[in-house]
């Protein structure tokens, strides 16, 4: 799961309905928990998507590209 990449165990129960706030300024300035902020920050740094396993699998299928962390490729030395 994407959250495991950041070594955090967080259940972001966001539901399936789209978030369409009436006042974006108020919505974006709202308080978030420290834990949620850390998860979002981690995914910003890694560039990996934040979402459920199903969400990430669907993205990978649509993009025809792996989005999960893979083992690093060994450096070639001459």
Residue 64 has pLDDT above 90, yes or no: yes
pLDDT band at 14 (very low <50, low <70, confident <90, very high): low
Mean pLDDT of the 14-28 span:
72
Q: Mark 21-32 as b/e (b = at least 16 C-beta within 10 Å).
A: eeeeeeeeeeee
Model confidence at 62, pLDDT cuts 50, 70, 90, reads: very high
Per-domain residue ranges of the chain: 2-13+22-63
Q: Rounded distance, CA 30 to CA 45, Å?
A: 22
């Amino acid at each position: 799961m994407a959250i495991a990449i950041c070594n955090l165990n967080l259940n972001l129960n966001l539901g399936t309905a789209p978030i369409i706030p009436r006042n974006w300024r108020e919505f974006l300035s709202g308080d978030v928990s420290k834990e949620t902020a850390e998860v979002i920050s981690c995914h910003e740094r890694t560039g990996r998507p934040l979402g459920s396993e199903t969400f990430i699998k669907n993205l990978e299928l649509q993009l025809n590209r792996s989005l999960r962390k893979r083992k690093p490729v060994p450096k070639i030395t001459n």
